[in-house]
């Protein structure tokens, strides 16, 4: 499987979080959203011009900033239609 950061992945794509390139604060923030290494997430949508990225983890949807999304590396699984 190919590793890409969350900003590079197309919308409606599922993947497994392989790496998080942030510090302790960022890891803690992402954990409160249910995002941790090894979890499955789906990129729902993103906004143009470095806007927020909307992801789904389990039954939860969350919007995360572009900079934070750039530091989340996922192994792409498949597109969801």
Global pTM reads 0.88
pLDDT band at 2 (very low <50, low <70, confident <90, very high): confident
Q: What is the pLDDT of residues 17-54, one digit of tens each?
A: 999 999 999 999 999 999 999 999 999 999 888 899 99
Task: Please report, for residues 23, 24, 25, 28, the alpha-carbon distance to residue 42 in angstroms, rounded to integers and kept in the order given.
Answer: 23, 23, 23, 20
Distance CA 13, CA 78 (A): 6
- CATH number of this structure's domain 3-79, picked from the four choices 2.60.290.11, 2.30.30.90, 3.40.50.261, 1.10.10.1100: 2.30.30.90
Q: What is the pLDDT of residues 50-74, one digit of tens each?
A: 899 999 999 999 999 999 999 999 9
């Amino acid at each position: 499987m190919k590793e890409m950061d969350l900003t590079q992945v197309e919308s409606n794509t599922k993947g497994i979080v392989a790496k998080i390139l942030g510090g302790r604060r960022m890891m803690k923030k992402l954990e409160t959203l249910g995002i941790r290494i090894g979890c499955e997430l789906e990129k729902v949508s993103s906004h143009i011009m470095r806007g927020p990225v909307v992801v789904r983890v389990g039954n939860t949807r969350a919007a995360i900033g572009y900079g934070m999304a750039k530091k989340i590396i996922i192994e792409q699984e498949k597109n969801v239609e």
